[in-house]
Structure 1
Amino acid sequence: MTTQQRKIILALTILYTMVILYFIFLAFGRLDTIGQMTDYTFLFVPDSFFKLPSIADLLHPTLMDFVDFGNIAAFIPFGVLIPLLYRTSFVRFIAWFLLSILVLETIQALTLLGSFDVNDVIQNSSGAAIGFGAYKLGMRTKNVWRNIAATGISIVVLMIGVWGFCAIVDNVFTKEAGPFVALHELTDSTGNPATGSKPYSFKIGGQQVEPTYNVYSVEGKNRETYTYTLGNKELFLSLYYGIPDQKDFTGSIRVAVDGHEFLFAAAEDQLHEPGVFEIFLEQANELTITIEGNEQLWDVGFREMKYFWN
């Protein structure tokens, strides 16, 4: 590399660094948000690194899709420019890069111009690593234009490789809602294992209701309580409720999980039509349902969040 070429690369590196620093500290109206922020924000647990947009997402991209790709792509040039200026190993390069990004993220948080986000650190470093790999693969000849073309192709190939790897890891470590489990399939701790297991049709507000899984009511009493053990699961709990047309509009329902009440619906507060209730619970062990009067619940159940291997 000639002295002239080195000066050009150095100037490009400095200019590009200034652009990146502008986006880190000043762009997107960051100065306007200083007065709105009262606390430092430090996010040390990664939660979105492996959530790069899928091909389907790219057909209808959102702002966050561009941000995730941008956090990687914007730092690829450093992986090419720095090794061109200074001979260095990958370990030394990525160590210094990580240290620099950690310092910048910390300054961003302490100046209230943003937050320290470990997701950004991982994504930015991944971009730099892609650039360094492309430099090693592309800069193999004395022909400048051939080297540029080879480096560009290497960047695309490595980016696709990282994208595919992230998709695999995302699939492995992301939980999805499993099949619907009807509540009557569990054993009721009150000693009623078959309660609610025989669905029957009825009308609410003139609408014909055809339960698929179960129906819960007071079973001829004024009040009934059903308690189930869910086993400390992460799940979506759902149910339908209402008072059939042929019955007096009296009653109420309560739904509590581990002693915390999540739903209370009295007859006088309800519309004369089927009600729907669904809630996500990070941990659910004991489910208690209390029914009074003519209230009925049906298709009560949950979908457990599981990894694909479960």
Structure 2
Amino acid sequence: MIAAITISYTVLILYFIFLAFGRLGTVDHVTGYTFIFLPDSFFRLPGLSDLLHPTLMDLVDLGNIAAFIPFGLLIPLLYRTDFIRFMILFILSILVIETIQALTLLGSFDINDVIQNSLGAAVGFGAYKSGCRYRRIWSNIAAVGIAIAILMLGIWGSFGVVDKAFTQELSEFVAINELQDSTGQPSEGAKLDPFEIGGQKVVPQYNVYSAEGRNIETYTYMLGKGNKELYLYMNYGIPDQEDFRGSITVTVDGQVFLSMSAEDQPHEPDMFGLYLERANKLTITIEGNEKLWDVGFREMEYSWRW
């Protein structure tokens, strides 16, 4: 029974890793392999606002750990092994899976996933060793559950401390109109007049970009000397009372990260966010009646980088 459960759960996890979330449909749009060897964040120490309003990434990080806890419980029930041997074999297995995921273009090799998945297995193994000490099965289940909760809290706290010590978001939101354009001149963007999209009133705070009455307009900005690691944000849509036509293309250092036509957009304001491991030159091309507003970024820097 334990072997059947282990095999079934492994197949389920492999399905989510390789096939779920529409991965097959995105293969044709992937232009190259993605390997991320440096962790860009840790399992953050939550504040009160994080606990009340967790972000999508908080839930993804938690899921990446929780989903692999069962392996730490099931494998020791099948085979007698010590913690070191178990973790070595598990980490090697995850490294192989992540590599296959990247080479098949069904995802990326992400060291963050390796760390979080391995932590989940370690929590399960630790809970098994701590909790399975009683003769009554319900006592073992309760003890294992308590051990998992304690270990998860310990990981959350310790990794949060590491995150605070080694990672910091140095910049506040920087609107791109505060930068210089490709000609070396500051760009103020269009007037911040409000407009409506899908019946919703939009009041820009920083900038507005459009084709300005022409069929196509291109905006190019240098994000700074050297390569920057940052999160890019922008809002876009087509105002009411205008023909629903146009497109947006966002290119960073020659690579297209967003190419969206009016046919693919909802009739309401939409937001685009993008993590860029390296970014220097930003190019935005707008066609038709599209509008972009509040375009900017937050820069990330790490204390181990000079």
For this structure pair, what is the TM-score category when the shorter chain's length is used for normalisation?
Answer: 0.5 to 0.7
Distance 1:119 1:54, change over 3 A: farther
Name which of 134, 139, 148 aligns with 1:155.
148
Unaligned runs of 5+ in 1: 1-7, 179-234, 242-253, 285-302
1:264 partner letter: P
> How many Å apart are 1:78 and its aligned residue?
0.5
Give the equivalent residue in structure 1 for 2:186.
Answer: 264
Name which of 6, 14, 19 aligns with 1:26.
19
SS at match of 1:146: helix
Structure 1 distance, partners of 2:144, 2:106, is 34
1:9 equivalent to 2:6? Answer no
Q: Note if contact 2:168-2:301 (Cα within 8 Å) is conserved in structure 1.
A: yes
Q: Note if contact 1:52-1:65 (Cα within 8 Å) is conserved in structure 2.
A: no
> How many Å apart are 1:154 and its aligned residue?
0.3
Structure 2 distance, partners of 1:305, 1:97, is 31
SS at match of 2:186: strand
Structure 1 distance, partners of 2:300, 2:75, is 48
| Cα RMSD, aligned residues only | 3.7
Superimposed CA distance per residue, residues 208-257 of structure 1 (whole angstroms, 9 cap, x where no aligned partner): xxxxxxxxxxxxxxxxxxxxxxxxxxx9889x99xxxxxxxxxxxx969x
> How many Å apart are 1:144 and its aligned residue?
1.7
Structure 2 distance, partners of 1:23, 1:95, is 23
1:79 equivalent to 2:66? Answer no
1:217-296 mapped onto 2 (5 Å cutoff): 263-264=185-186
Distance 1:136 1:109, change over 3 A: same
1:170 partner letter: D
SS at match of 2:121: helix
Structure 1 distance, partners of 2:112, 2:140, is 32
Structure 2 distance, partners of 1:131, 1:167, is 20
SS at match of 1:38: coil
Aligned length: 208
Give the equivalent residue in structure 2 for 1:38.
Answer: 31
SS at match of 1:264: coil
TM-score by length of 1: 0.58
1:149-188 mapped onto 2 (5 Å cutoff): 149-177=142-170
SS at match of 2:38: coil
Distance 1:32 1:54, change over 3 A: farther
Q: Note if contact 1:236-1:304 (Cα within 8 Å) is conserved in structure 2.
A: no
> How many Å apart are 1:59 and its aligned residue?
1.7
> How many Å apart are 1:264 and its aligned residue?
2.6
Name which of 89, 110, 124 aligns with 1:117.
110
Superimposed CA distance per residue, residues 254-302 of structure 1 (whole angstroms, 9 cap, x where no aligned partner): 969xxx9765359xx9879xx989x975879xxxxxxxxxxxxxxxxxx
Superimposed CA distance per residue, residues 138-182 of structure 1 (whole angstroms, 9 cap, x where no aligned partner): 01122222111101110011001111111111111122449xxxx
Structure 2 distance, partners of 1:53, 1:304, is 19
SS at match of 2:96: helix
Give the equivalent residue in structure 2 for 1:98.
Answer: 91
Structure 1 distance, partners of 2:300, 2:119, is 33
Structure 1 distance, partners of 2:300, 2:68, is 39
> How many Å apart are 1:46 and its aligned residue?
0.8
Give the equivalent residue in structure 1 for 2:219.
Answer: none
Structure 2 distance, partners of 1:30, 1:53, is 30
Structure 2 distance, partners of 1:46, 1:304, is 13
Q: Note if contact 2:41-2:167 (Cα within 8 Å) is conserved in structure 1.
A: no
Distance 1:69 1:107, change over 3 A: same
Q: Note if contact 2:23-2:106 (Cα within 8 Å) is conserved in structure 1.
A: yes
Q: Note if contact 2:18-2:106 (Cα within 8 Å) is conserved in structure 1.
A: yes
1:179-218 mapped onto 2 (5 Å cutoff): none
Superimposed CA distance per residue, residues 17-39 of structure 1 (whole angstroms, 9 cap, x where no aligned partner): 11101100111001101111121
